[in-house]
Amino acid sequence: FRASFFQTHADDHPLVAHFCGDDPSTVGRACRMAADLGADAVDLNLGCPQRVAFAGHYGSYLLGDDDRQTVVAIVKAMRAAAPPDVAVCAKVRLLDAPEHTRKLVEDLRDAGAQVVAIHGRKRATWHKK
């Protein structure tokens, strides 16, 4: 299934595999599979503001203080699973204060992210009814 679903061409480089999730082990295994299939980089999407991301507990809904350890663990798992020549990246949104965004980026860097892209909008906040 993976081989037929994840197809590339020799000219598809650099190739970045983009993931979402809230389980470090699962995301780490996905990164290893993507690297084995030729990805040059793996990217964690911490920017998705969609309602489905809220319901699934991923994307920008992992940017709260209560999920920081989970996010750090995910990036550490990505770095541990990906070969050294595969870049680990993350996409985030702005937090409520610039110093909070800076701290998040530093935490991601310290966990093993080599590239952090910051989407210039704040994260969405869906509330359960």
Contact 86, 40 (CB under 8 A): yes
Q: What's the whole-number mean pLDDT along residues 97-104?
A: 96
Structure tokens at 129: 């009814």
Where residue 50 falls among pLDDT bands split at 50, 70, 90? confident
pLDDT single digits (tens) 54-71: 889 999 999 999 999 999
Report the mean per-residue pLDDT for the chain.
90
| CA atoms in the 13 A half-sphere facing the CB of 128 | 6
Structure tokens at 118: 């910051």
- The pTM for the full model equals 0.90
Closest by CA to 74, choosing from 22, 13, 19, is: 22
Where residue 129 falls among pLDDT bands split at 50, 70, 90? very low
Q: Is the pLDDT confidence value at 127 over 90? A: no
Scan for tokens 């290893």, then name that residue: 32
Which residues are marked as active site?
48
Closest by CA to 6, choosing from 29, 38, 32, is: 38
CA triplet 55, 60, 63: central angle to 5 degrees? 110
Structure tokens at 44: 């964690």
Q: Is the pLDDT confidence value at 23 over 80? A: yes
Scan for tokens 């770095």, then name that residue: 79
Q: Is the pLDDT confidence value at 24 over 80? A: yes
